[in-house]
Structure 1
Amino acid sequence: MTTTRPSLPPLPPLPSLPPLPSDVAELLRAVDAPPRLVAHLALVAEVAERIAEFCVGQGLDLDRAAVRFGAATHDIGKAVHPEELSAPGSAHEPAGYALLLAHGVPEPLARFARSHATWCEPGTTTEELLVSLADKAWKNQRVQDLEDRVVDRLAAATGRERWEAFLALDDLLTRIGEDAPRRLARQAAHPVRTGRN
């Protein structure tokens, strides 16, 4: 006697993600980036774009394309260290930097992979600060020291009082944070591993 298993309903489609720059999407395919990593990078890049747009609107001069690229690749080293997609770790930072250089990415852009967790290093650019901030803000994590550094750059660039720059940035980050549960759910809907690994 054979028993047949009832057919399972099809899996629901994965939630759509914000588009990544085509060069980044191609790079992520080349390194076989896991779906959850692609989702994370797309969501952080979307938040980084909002933060960069706000900062430019406030009068801060910055390279928005570099911010977008940096946010869209900052964790690419997790393609080499996929265990860090679901557990803490920092091995992905130098690995991502090396991976980007090996794929012909210029050093000023590759360094986002290495610098996104070390915003207090001397010589940190405004663009690096914004990528670091987006990597925290997308999940509604507030980091006072990091935010203070961005506020200082905003106040210096605009000539506004520091408290005014703080209030404006705080309002933006509060609004971004309100949508964090939805972003986290969108990321979690994507598998940690590809079918090949």
Structure 2
Amino acid sequence: MAAVSSLVLQRALTDRADPDLRRLPGRVELLLRSVDAPPRLGAHLRVVHDVACELVAWVRTNYAAVAVNPDAVLFGAATHDIGKVIHPEELSAPGSAHEQDGYRLLLEHGVGAELARFARTHASWSEVGVGVDDLLVSLADKIWKGKRVPELEQLIVQRLAAADGSEPWQAFMVLDDELTRIAAAADRRLAFQANYPTTT
């Protein structure tokens, strides 16, 4: 049974998809295999990571003055929900227990605190000390399925406008266009994720 589960996880991590999805970083794929991640989790992390790649590229093209650490954002997007290995019920129902436990799980597997933090911060964007990298991971975790969160988007708009001296409304209009473009493929991403089971 473990071999079947492993094969299904492998498919979630590597299958061609519509839209075409990037693969997770090799380090993350190995980690997901080592913790016997549910295939649905692998698929979810893959779609969020892919959207984070788009967001990072967009910020670097349109707001070069924003200090973004692309490697951190992409690792964070690829691992943000890893705590759902411990709390698989949160793959199909609301819950936040996976956040702190995901952080601990990453630390136990040799991930430094500066990267493991995204497991904790991806749903806590209004807390003090949350940086633009954290906000981008949070945004990717919402917009992949077409969900718009005004409070989160406003925090990002403030960072963008402050970085290049534009008016917040201008930054919002540019961000809104990009989020609308990304959200257009939400149904296809949801269909890809739904192809994989929530249990190992």
Structure 2 gap ranges (5+) = 1-10
1:164 pairs, out of 167, 170, 190, with 170
Opposite residue 67 of structure 2, the aligned amino acid is D
> Is structure 2 residue 174 aligned with structure 1 residue 174?
no
Q: Deviations over 1:16-38 (max 9, x none)?
A: 35300000101111111111000
Name the larger-Rg structure. 1
Aligned to 1:41: 45
CA distance in 1, matches of 2:156, 2:190: 24
Question: How far did residue 155 of structure 1 move?
Answer: 0.4
* 3-state secondary structure, aligned to 2:123: coil
* 3-state secondary structure, aligned to 2:95: coil
Aligned to 2:191: 185
CA distance in 2, matches of 1:55, 1:150: 11
Farther-moved stretch of structure 1 (49-58 vs 71-80): 49-58
Structure 1 ranges of 4+ moved more than 4 A? none
Give the TM-score normalised by structure 1. 0.90
Q: How does 1:1-197 map to 2 (within 5 A)?
A: 15-16=15-16, 17-57=21-61, 58-59=63-64, 60-194=66-200
Query: Percent identity of the aligned residues?
Result: 58
CA distance in 2, matches of 1:103, 1:125: 24
CA distance in 2, matches of 1:61, 1:157: 8
Structure 1 gap ranges (5+) = 1-12
For this pair of structures, how many residues does the alignment match? 182
CA distance in 1, matches of 2:22, 2:192: 11
Farther-moved stretch of structure 1 (167-176 vs 50-59): 50-59
CA distance in 2, matches of 1:152, 1:51: 16
